[in-house]
Amino acid sequence: MFRIPAALALIGLTLSACGPTSHVSYTKPNVSNNTANRNFVECRQEANALFPAAIFTESVPGYGGYGGYYGGSPYYPGWGGSYVQASDANAPLRAQHLSDCMTLKGYQRQVHPICTSAQLDGRQYQPVTRPPASAAANICAARTQGGGTTLIDLSKPL
């Protein structure tokens, strides 16, 4: 009786762990936002050209719901079915090349944590126009409505 809710909770917990936990930015003193953005786009285009997407799919066994097949067991109806998992074999190579390219152009890589819901708590904060030269505890990355990410300063509420 409790197996299905427990399985659904486990699946939800597993999927929530798939989201990114940090945001990477690159900084360089005395460089305008336009120049930094242009350099980033050039490096990303070069990485995409050198390491194009190589998508592989595999069928992964999983919970099929009551619409799935019974899995050959009369005791656990609904178990079975599968879903398709896609992965890009070249994604780590692209990310490494992008980082190397920006480093060769004189930028320093900075990692910022993703803002937690407790930190945001329904409030709005001042966006950071330029990443700080060093890691700051009050800077985190928040999701935007368009699906992107922006750095915000938790010490500057709107």
Q: Is the pLDDT of residue 106 over 80?
A: yes
Domain boundaries along the sequence of the chain: 22-65+77-157
At 111 the three-state DSSP class reads strand
d(CA 118, CA 107): 32
d(CA 150, CA 133): 16
Tens-place pLDDT, residues 21-71? 888 889 898 888 889 999 999 999 999 999 999 998 887 776 555 544 445
